[in-house]
């Protein structure tokens, strides 16, 4: 299950509205899906998850928390996207190695103004995602690394225990007209490289 | 102004209800106060701030965001607490060096079940706060250190830029009956010390 | 055993010379003691450790790495300090809850110009150490928090795994004449408080 | 200039021997080159740096610290590698955007058992480096992220100030016979993908 602080920041960054249509890719236990469904009471959440055991868990949790506006899709994304309507929000916690395909499928469904929020625990998936976003000039993004240490109460002292760091990438789809004003990646690259490159590895 | 991610986690940890009465000590520009006031629409926020310029800024921001349920108190806390009613939530971003006095004043006003959320940027204030909480057995607390690195988009690369780390301490006031079941600090200390102390500095 | 990176930074900060006399308090498995002994080939290391099993381990490791200039003292520091000569370096990895007593005992033995390097995993011990150093104007110190994430090779990706953070405090004993020029803590406090304190918790 | 703690860990990971031949790519002010030259007193350091001002600085620093076994090569690496002999150690602090070319050039010069230590401040260069290492089965590597917070002494308190995080990658060139026993990247990939991929973004 996604750690509490990362879950909170992910949900806040998704800027979920009351009527929003949301996909949660790699939904796991459904902790994000269910909280999203409770925010988007007039909307709907599509939780895509490939593991049968996890799918069962999401259904149980949805019942337990009395969440009705949630559909679980048992599939390896982007499979299962066919029946998903145009989206306001996509939350990607796990992509099973098919990140590029998932991003392309999300992009097809995402409305202008829609948000994608992704969590990463590996360098390579993070780099791939940033590469995809740089290649799509109609997205604005920002990215953070979140590192949480819990202070464990051990009587009359408190000891720092580290949680594994997570990167959160938040992207917003903008109008092509706006994107046109943004300097293109290829042009940016040529400008920088022609100056001899950055002085860092 | 408190950094975005710390502000979000602080507000979420405060578990603000729609009717809650809230004090924001060291309110600064009012970024926390105003967001709290918008959550507690049927409640009220008391923003205590000693700097006249900051007080002016909070008033301007309250007007700009059309927030009515917010009272600014120009004082060095715990001065100014006299007219504050019993509280559901206390958020302490700055204590001007009077942390113990502020905690005592908050404790007098805080209802059973009420929450205190504190942000710390110094080791000493954090340690003082934890000491106060350990000495008050009718509080349960947890504490985290939050470290955020922003990935700065520098064309075809993204460079990690660190923000200063902040500790967030969240405490909940519990019934004395519950507290009685919690092992006392003095007893805990004696038990541990009698075993020879912890094997760490 | 102290984590590799923390051990390296601790040893480097100790600025061990070839003839130095060194105490290692809370020596544990002896990982620091043995490396220190190999640097101070013409000097001597006194490893103070209270746990009999750890003491055995240090002796075994010393034999294994053929280290002769190392004396193990089985005691809870500052017990066992009686027979230790004037010191160039004190490394304090564990103080068993008696940090203030250990610092006082080290201070009595430490030569002018000598270094103390301490590792901390709890907020309270760190704060106590900083308080002791602020109260002793003939010490200069700096302190860092070190957080290491290991990238675990999981095939075609690398996943970040956090290690618990450690604070390293490094203090140097200076001549009283120099210390006299340093502004006293009491005076500094009065100056700052008279300005109304710092605007942070 | 590379931050102190990163410089220390980089130099220690390079395991520099007294007779070692070393290249320092993107030498900057020469802080790493000069320390390396003082360790490898019977060896030699080749500092490759493209910025004329930095080249001047390295020469000045070498003179100031009386370092003779250091040759500065004013070039954008891998240019300037022609006259460099077989190497024991390559330290890569900056590659000016030509990381792959630099790694290939280093690989040609590096002896079996030789070490490459790289510092990264961007996600993309880190990912590229890890990709290169995964594609070269005769290298073993480990990678860490180092985050340092300095406690700034502000009178009677100490405030945490973050330094930007750096990744340090350390690779060792092994015998082909050993490499043969290591499972190949392609095979590893097929195995993992055939199991459906990892359940994380």
By DSSP bridging, strand B87-92 and strand B21-25 are parallel
Tell me which long-range contacts C191-199 makes (C-beta under 8 A, separation of at least 24): C191/D155, C192/B97, C192/D155, C192/D156, C193/B97, C196/B50, C196/B76, C196/B96, C197/B96, C197/B97, C197/B98, C198/B96, C198/B97, C198/D154, C198/D157, C199/B26, C199/B28, C199/B50, C199/B51, C199/B94, C199/B96
Number of domains in chain D: 1
- B199 within a domain of the structure (yes/no): no
Inspect the interface and report whether the beta carbons of A165 and C151 lie closer than 8 Å.
no
Q: Are B162 and D157 inside 8 Å of each other by CB? A: no
**What is the per-residue burial (b if ≥16 Cβ within 10 Å, else e) of D95-110?**
bbbbbebbbebbbebb
> CA D134 to CA B90: how far, in whole Å?
52
Per-residue confidence (pLDDT) for residue B155, from 0 to 100: 87
Chain A residues touching residue C157 (CB < 8 angstroms): 122-125
Whether B99 is covered by a domain: the verdict is yes
Cβ–Cβ under 8 Å, residues B3 and B163? yes
CB contact under 8 A, A154 and C122: yes
The pLDDT value recorded for residue B176 is 76
Q: Are D147 and C147 in contact (CB under 8 A)?
A: yes
Q: Is A147 left (phi over 0), alpha (psi -120 to 50) or beta?
A: beta
**Do A130 and D123 lie within an 8 Å CB cutoff?**
yes
Report how far apart, in Å, the C-alpha atoms of D70 and of each of A168, D31, D37 are. Answer: 44, 12, 6
- Structure tokens of C50? 């209270």
Rounded Cα gap, residues A126 and A143, in angstroms: 9
* Structural domain harbouring C144: 4-194
In a mutational test of the A interface, the residue from C159, C161, C168 whose CB has the highest number of chain A CBs within 10 Å is C159
- pLDDT per residue as tens, chain A (201 positions): 679 999 999 999 999 999 999 999 999 999 999 999 999 999 999 999 999 999 999 999 999 999 999 999 999 999 999 999 999 999 999 787 899 999 999 999 999 999 999 999 999 999 999 999 999 999 999 999 999 999 999 989 999 999 999 999 999 999 876 665 554 444 544 444 333 333 323
Q: Any CB–CB contact under 8 A between D170 and chain B?
A: no
Lowest mean pLDDT among B33-47, B157-171, C61-75, C93-107: C93-107
> How much is the average pLDDT of B147-171?
96
CB-based contact, C7 to chain D, within 8 Å? no
The predicted-structure confidence for B89-132, as pLDDT tens digits, reads as follows: 999 997 878 999 999 999 999 999 999 999 999 999 999 999 99
Average the pLDDT over C3-25 and give the result. Answer: 97
Q: Reduced to 3 states, what is the DSSP secondary structure of residue D94?
A: coil
Q: Do D158 and B125 touch (CB under 8 A)?
A: no
Q: Cβ distance C63 to C41 under 8 Å?
A: no
Task: Write out chain D residues lying below 8 Å of A124, CB-based.
Answer: 127, 130-131
Contact present, C164 and A160 (Cβ < 8 Å): yes
Are residues C162 and A160, on separate chains, in Cβ contact within 8 Å? Answer: no
The CATH number for B74's domain is 3.40.50.150
CB distance D163–B162 less than 8 Å?
A: yes
User: Is the C-alpha dihedral spanning C147, C148, C154, C155 positive or negative?
Assistant: positive
D159 CA: distance to closest CA in chain A (Å): 17
Q: Is residue D161 part of a domain?
A: yes
Mean pLDDT value of segment D15-25: 97
Q: pLDDT > 90: what percent of chain C?
A: 82
Residue from D134, D136, D155, D164 to probe the interface with C (highest C Cβ count within 10 Å): D155
> In the predicted model, is pLDDT for residue B189 greater than 50?
no
Distance from CA of D66 to the nearest CA of B (A): 36
Tell me phi and psi for residue A60, to 5 degrees.
-65, -45
Q: Measured between CB atoms, does C82 come within 8 Å of chain D?
A: no
pLDDT category of residue D1 using cuts at 50, 70 and 90: low
Instruction: State whether residue C31 sits within 8 Å of chain B by CB.
Output: no
| Cα Rg, chain C, nearest whole Å | 19
Q: Which residues contact A196 (CB under 8 A, 6 or more apart)?
A: D50, D76, D96
Indicate the range of A85-99, A183-197, B166-180, D180-194 predicted with least confidence: A183-197
Cβ distance B95 to C26 less than 8 Å, yes or no, reads: no
3-state helix, strand, coil in chain C (%, to 5): 35, 30, 35
**A101 in B contact zone (CB under 8 Å):** no
Given CB atoms, is D10 within the 8 Å cutoff of chain B? no
Contact (Cβ atoms closer than 8 angstroms) between residue C16 and residue C36: yes
Q: Where are the alpha helices (DSSP H) in chain D?
A: 4-13, 31-39, 52-64, 99-109, 123-135, 176-181, 185-194
| B179 touching A (Cβ < 8 Å) | no
DSSP 8-class letter at A137: T
Searching chain D, which residue's CA lies closest to the CA of residue A196? Answer: D96
| C122: chain B residues, CB-CB within 8 Å | 200-201
Residues 6+ apart with CB under 8 A from C155: D185, D188, D189, D191, D192
Mean pLDDT for C20-31 is 96
Put simply, whether A129 touches D (Cβ < 8 Å) is yes
What percent of chain D has pLDDT above 90?
Answer: 83
**What is the DSSP-derived secondary structure letter of residue C98?**
-
Q: Please tell me which of the candidates A125, A161, A162 has its beta carbon nearest to residue C157.
A: A125
> Dihedral of CA B95/B97/B102/B104: which sign?
positive
- Residue D46 belongs to a domain: yes
Q: H or E segment at C200?
A: none
* D89-121 confidence digits (pLDDT tens): 999 997 878 999 999 999 999 999 999 999 999
- Mean pLDDT (whole number) for C121-150: 97
Neighbouring chains to C with at least 3 Cβ pairs closer than 8 Å: A, B, D
Q: Take residue A90 and report the two structure tokens written for it.
A: 């996509």
The model's pTM: 0.89
Chain D: touching chains (3 or more CB pairs < 8 Å) = A, B, C
Establish if C10 belongs to a structural domain.
yes
| Residue C153: inside a domain | yes
Tell me the pairing of strands D70-74 and D44-49. Answer: parallel
Predicted confidence band of residue C94 (pLDDT cuts 50, 70, 90): confident
pLDDT at B180 over 70: no
Residue C51 has pLDDT above 60, yes or no: yes
CA angle B16, B21, B23 (to 5 degrees): 90
Residues with Cβ < 8 Å from C157, sequence gap 6 or more? A122, A123, A124, A125, D198
Q: What is the pLDDT of residue D130?
A: 97
Work out the minimum CA distance from B175 to partner chain C, whole angstroms. 27
* Predicted local confidence at residue B179, as pLDDT: 64
Judged by DSSP in three states, A172 sits in strand
Does residue A193 belong to any structural domain of this protein? no
Tell me whether residue A199 is exposed, middle or buried, using C-beta atoms within 10 angstroms of its C-beta: 0 to 12, 13 to 18, 19 or more. Answer: middle
Instruction: Determine, for residues C162 and A147 on separate chains, whether the beta-carbon distance falls below 8 Å.
Output: yes
Output the pLDDT for position C194. Answer: 38
- Whether C42 shows a pLDDT value over 50: the answer reads yes
SS (H, E, C) B132-143: HHHHCCCEEEEE
CA distance C86 to chain A (A): 32
Nearest residue, CB atoms, C92 vs list B94, B127, B201 = B201
Nearest to D58 by CA among D85, D87, D35, D88: D35
- Residue spans of alpha helices (H) in A48-112: 52-64, 99-109
Predicted local distance difference test score (pLDDT) of residue A197: 32
Report d(CA D143, CA D9) in Å as an integer.
12
Is C146 touching A (CB cutoff 8 A)?
no
| C52 exposure class (CB count in 10 Å sphere: 0-12, 13-18, 19+) | exposed
Nearest-Cα distance to chain A for B75, in Å, is 32
Contact between D11 and D113 under an 8 Å Cβ cutoff? The reply is no
Q: What mean pLDDT value characterizes chain B?
A: 89
Instruction: Indicate the pLDDT class of residue C120, thresholds 50, 70 and 90.
Output: very high
Contact D201 A129 (CB under 8 A): yes
Region label for C41, one of left (φ > 0), alpha (ψ between -120 and 50) or beta (otherwise): alpha
Point out the least confidently predicted range of B52-56, D40-44, D162-166, D180-184: D180-184
- The answer to whether the beta carbons of residues C102 and C69 sit under 8 Å apart is no
Can you tell me the distance from the alpha carbon of B109 to that of A53, in angstroms, rounded to the nearest whole number?
A: 48
Please list, in sequence order, all residues whose beta carbon lies within 8 angstroms of the beta carbon of residue A85, skipping any fewer than 6 positions away. A21, A109
Peptide bond preceding C178: is omega within 30 degrees of 0, i.e. cis? no
Q: How many cross-chain Cβ pairs, A to C, lie less than 8 Å apart? A: 54
- Which residue has 């994107």 as its token pair? A179
CA dihedral B95, B98, B104, B110 (to 10 degrees): -10
User: d(Cα D31, Cα A50) in Å, to the nearest integer?
Assistant: 51
Q: Do C201 and B51 touch (CB under 8 A)?
A: no
Q: Do D159 and B125 touch (CB under 8 A)?
A: no
SS3 call for A77: coil
Instruction: Mark yes or no for CB contact A148/B153 under 8 Å.
Output: no
Q: Does residue C138 fall inside a structural domain?
A: yes
Are A151 and B134 within 8 A, CB to CB? no
User: Mean pLDDT over residues B161-181, rounded?
Assistant: 87
- The per-residue DSSP string of B125-166 comes to HHHHHHHHHHH-TTEEEEEEEEEEEEEEE-SS-EEEEEPPPE
Residue A74 in tokens: 């048992």
By C-alpha distance, the chain C residue nearest A127 is C157
Best residue in C162, C165, C166, C168 for a mutation probing chain A (most A CBs within 10 Å)? C162
Residue A149's DSSP bridge partners are A162, B145
Q: Which two tokens stand for residue A180?
A: 């046109």
Chain B's closest residue to A12, CA to CA, is B8
Nearest C-alpha of chain D: how many angstroms from A79? 13
- Collapsing DSSP to helix, strand or coil, D64 comes out as helix
Facing B123 at nearest CB: one of D121, D151, D164: D151
Q: Are A159 and A131 in contact (CB under 8 A)?
A: no
Write down which chains contact chain B via at least 3 CB pairs under 8 A: A, C, D
Predicted confidence at residue B96, as pLDDT, reads 75
pLDDT at B185 over 70: no
CB-based contact, A189 to chain B, within 8 Å: yes
Residue A198 CA, distance from chain mean position = 30
pLDDT value at D158 more than 60? yes
**Phi, psi for residue B20 in degrees, rounded to 5:** -70, 150
> Which of D11, D15, D145 is the mutation pick for testing C, counting most C CBs within 10 A?
D145
């Amino acid at each position: 299950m996604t750690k509490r602080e990362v879950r909170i920041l992910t949900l806040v960054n998704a800027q979920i509205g009351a009527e929003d249509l949301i996909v949660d890719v790699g939904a796991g236990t459904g902790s994000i899906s269910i909280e999203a469904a409770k925010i988007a009471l007039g909307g709907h959440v599509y939780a895509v998850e490939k593991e049968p055991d996890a799918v069962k868990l999401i259904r149980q949790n949805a019942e337990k928390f009395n969440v009705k506006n949630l559909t679980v899709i048992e599939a390896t994304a982007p499979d299962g996207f066919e029946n998903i309507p145009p989206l306001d929000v996509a939350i990607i916690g796990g992509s099973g190695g098919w990140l590029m395909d998932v991003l392309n499928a999300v992009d097809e469904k995402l409305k202008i103004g829609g948000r994608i929020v992704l969590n990463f625990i590996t360098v390579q998936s993070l780099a791939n995602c940033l590469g995809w976003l740089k290649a799509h000039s109609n997205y604005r993004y920002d990215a953070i690394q979140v590192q949480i240490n819990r202070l464990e109460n051990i009587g009359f002292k408190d000891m720092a225990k580290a949680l594994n760091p997570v990167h959160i990438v938040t992207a917003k789809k903008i109008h092509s007209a706006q994107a046109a004003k943004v300097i293109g990646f290829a042009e940016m690259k040529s400008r920088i490289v022609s100056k001899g490159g950055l002085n860092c590895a």
